[in-house]
Structure 1
Amino acid sequence: MAEINHFEYGWITPALSYALSVLGSALGLICASRIRTAGSAGQRAWWGTLAAWAIGGTAIWTMHFMAMLGFAVEGTRIRYDVPITVASALIAVVAVGIGLAIVGTGRFSAVRLVAGGLFTGAGVAAMHYTGMAAMRLNGRIDYDTTRVVLSVVIAVVAATVALWLAMTVRRWLAIVGSALLMGVAVNGMHFTGMSAMSVHPHTRQGEVTGAGVSTLLVPIVLAVVFGVVGLVYALLAAPTAEDRAAAAYVGSLREREPAEATAVAAPDPVGLRARSTLGSPGTPFPSRRNDPPR
């Protein structure tokens, strides 16, 4: 059995993978909080998609491959099948998206939470082992059944907790604390699943085909950067509850008292409109009390 090293570069890869999982979890929780306040089905679908991308794509999938940068097997090179790798990313995003749809549609309940957690957890575990199936090396990969089952249980519990947090957390401090907890859960599931793996080298060494980790690193980093920037921009550009309330108030004023609504919508603090009416046809000049007698 070949020797496996999960931390070839020391603490750098696990630290970066944990940071990515926390970042993706925080952005996902913020987007998920917008689902509850969305005013239409289209807006709920939009925020649900962004939350699924943040949690499934960044917090789970990119964390997985960042941790894989430090994975090495003695005596063989490691390559990855690109189509299967892309499929693992889609599994993670779709699984989280469906889980959010289950708990976020209709009245929030324990039954919906358990159903969403089971589906999402199974999807996260499928993402992990699909990503591992994409790995190519000179050897046969085996898994310890007990640890595989344990990793699936961790994935289901972590997904259930993540969905519950997505539907209940509102304050910033709670979001940060929840993201830190989710990062621990995601990394715990990953390294538990990795510890279940063993590699038995082939007697005949053949050529290992596929994309190297360094080749995949550039598109993954670009996807993370553009994805995070896009999520932050969407959050900053979206109207807040106060903005919607103000717009509704001005709209109601326009229906009842157009003149008052115009004044509210376009204030005139220095009296420019009043001054502009002086001297216009049909507008009398104001009288002055101290005019000298004629």
Structure 2
Amino acid sequence: MTATVSDFYYGAATPVAAYLMACLGAALGLRCTTRSLRRPRYRARWLALGAVSIGCGIWTMHFIAMIGFSVQGALVSYDATKTLLSLFVAIAVVAVGVFLVGYRGGSPLNLGVAGVVTGLGVAAMHYLGMAAIQTNGTLHYDAPTVLLSVMIAIAAATAALWAAVSIHALWASLGASLVMGVAVTGMHYTGMAAVSVHLTHQTESSQSSADLIAFLLVMLAGPLLVLLVAAVIVMFDPDMMLGQGDPDASVSAPFAGDPVFPSQPSPTRTSW
């Protein structure tokens, strides 16, 4: 028996919250990447923080959206191990792409390779998170829709990596993060459109249980805290707060001696 599936059990609350988290992760990742280009001496640290921010933002977006996932005639729960594994996958694949363009530049070849790797990883995170679902039935996927979601993930990842190395102005990067939020959230809901559930038996209620909500909130607490810490680090960077600008300006303005970005113009100072 094929069940009725909904991704909007709580209305617009979950997709809006999911979109905002995707935007937050993208914004922090872009700002961290900008800082890495301005401070070659600390590039690895900023790139790592950017990768963690983007990865946590994508993962948090996914599971906030999944709070609104319901199957008529079934209760939904999640395998904790697979859920956490999907988080590590998200961070790891984003790190591959961010470090590749962060150290080797934004050439078409680098962007293409990094975008494909990162996009496939984001899709893997999504479907691994879906594999964590436990319910009284089996999940089936429409192959063309799954393929479309993977293509969206690759395009979104490539665009995000391009923006990370090409857009340095504050308002431009914030605008790019809003666009990236649309792309990442769109990938999620495209993937969800591919899902159908065949029930083996029905339960009396299809509502999300309190235990499920509590589990997801516990899972989300860690990544949300990481994003909060990342936001504090970016906004209250001591060099910016003390008005010292770029401490590596003497060796990197404009990226002097940096073989990765020899032709980049001197970046505009921002406070965020």
1:21 equivalent to 2:19? Answer no
Give structure 2 stretches of 5+ with no counterpart. 204-209, 251-272
Alignment of 1:198-237 (within 5 A): 198-203=196-201, 212-235=211-234, 236-237=236-237
Q: Distance in 2 between matches of 1:247 and 1:31?
A: 16
Cα deviation per residue 1:194-224 (whole Å; 9 max; x = unaligned)? 000110001487xxxxx94313233244224
SS at match of 1:239: helix
Distance in 2 (alpha carbons) for counterparts of 1:115 and 1:23: 25
Go from structure 1 to structure 2 and tell me whether the alpha carbon gap of 1:159 and 1:139 turns closer, same or farther (over 3 Å shift). same
Count the aligned residue pairs.
241
| Contact persistence 1:78–1:212 (CA under 8 A) | no
Secondary structure at 2:227 match in 1: helix
Q: Secondary structure at the match of 1:142?
A: strand
CA, structure 1 residues 165+243, in 2 after alignment: closer, same or farther (shift >3 Å)?
A: same
Alignment-derived partner of residue 185 in structure 2: 187
1:108/1:85 Cα in 2 relative to 1: closer, same or farther (>3 Å)?
Answer: same
2:232 partner letter: Y
Partner residue, 2:83: 85
- Corresponding residue for residue 4 of structure 2: 3
Structure 1 stretches of 4+ with a deviation exceeding 3 A read: 244-249
| More divergent stretch after superposition (21-30 vs 111-120) | 21-30
Q: 1:124 to 1:245 in 2, by over 3 A?
A: closer
**How many Å apart are 1:164 and its aligned residue?**
0.2
* 2:50 partner letter: A
Q: How large is the RMSD of aligned CA atoms in angstroms?
A: 2.1
Task: Provide the identity percentage.
Answer: 40
In 2: Cα distance, 1:77 partner to 1:247 partner: 55
CA deviation string 1:32-76 (max 9, x = no partner): 111211232xx2111111111111112x10000000000000111
Q: Which runs of 5+ in 1 are unaligned?
A: 206-210, 250-294
Higher RCO structure (Cα 8 Å, ≥6 apart): 2
Helix, strand or coil for the counterpart of 2:40? Answer: coil
> Where does residue 46 of structure 1 map in the other structure?
45
CA distance in 1, matches of 2:103, 2:246: 24
- TM-score, structure 2 as length reference: 0.83
Rg larger in 1 or in 2?
1
User: What CA distance in whole angstroms lies between the structure 2 residues aligned with 1:225 and 1:64?
Assistant: 13
